[in-house]
């Protein structure tokens, strides 16, 4: 791919939905704007009561004062990683999803500078890292076992930066 070709494709194809309902939570899918774009990921603190130790996008639950899903995603990314909302070029959103906890989650997509300095908030995040999109597209998925209702369910996953995503 040429410089920024993938990020250009994303900008051309992604839009914000015309009718976006408030979700219980929102995440920011932050993609570095560079020749080999990467997705910003975090590993949640092992001390959290929900999703402890899991790899995730920056994000979290809606606060009463949040006016939109975008506000939730940007606020949570700021709180967890010190990502300044003014450094995010919003390009669209993805369909609402339901987390394993049952809450609705709205993914918001934005571009960030590749050299941005982020700081993990230690009460929420153990680690900040990046997953190269090209590497994820070329990698063979590995099965990841999750126990649900006393049964093993296997999900496709990837190993990136010694993390299972």
Whole-prediction pTM: 0.87
Using one digit for the tens of pLDDT, what is the confidence trace for 27-74? 999 999 998 999 999 998 888 777 777 889 999 999 999 999 999 999
Range with lowest mean pLDDT among 21-25, 48-52, 103-107: 48-52
Residue-range domain boundaries for the chain: 5-133
* Three-state SS annotation for 128-163: EEEEEHHHHHHCCCEEEEEEECCEEEEEEECEECCE
Q: Which CATH number fits domain 5-133: 3.50.30.60, 1.20.140.10, 3.40.1260.10, 3.90.79.10?
A: 3.90.79.10
């Amino acid at each position: 791919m040429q410089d920024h070709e993938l990020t250009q494709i994303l900008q051309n194809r992604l839009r914000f939905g015309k009718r976006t309902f408030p979700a219980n939570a929102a995440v920011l899918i932050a993609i570095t704007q560079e020749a080999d774009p990467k997705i910003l990921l975090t590993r949640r603190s092992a001390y959290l009561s929900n999703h402890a130790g899991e790899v995730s996008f920056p994000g979290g639950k809606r606060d009463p004062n949040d006016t939109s899903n975008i506000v939730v995603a940007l606020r949570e990314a700021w709180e967890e990683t010190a990502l300044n909302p003014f450094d995010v070029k919003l390009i669209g959103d993805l369909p609402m999803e339901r987390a394993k906890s049952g809450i609705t989650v709205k993914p918001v997509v934005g571009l960030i500078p590749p050299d941005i300095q982020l700081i993990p908030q230690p009460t929420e995040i153990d680690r900040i890292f990046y997953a190269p999109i090209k590497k994820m597209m070329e990698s063979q998925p590995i099965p990841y076992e999750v126990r649900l209702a006393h049964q093993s369910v296997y999900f496709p996953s990837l190993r990136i930066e010694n993390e299972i995503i």
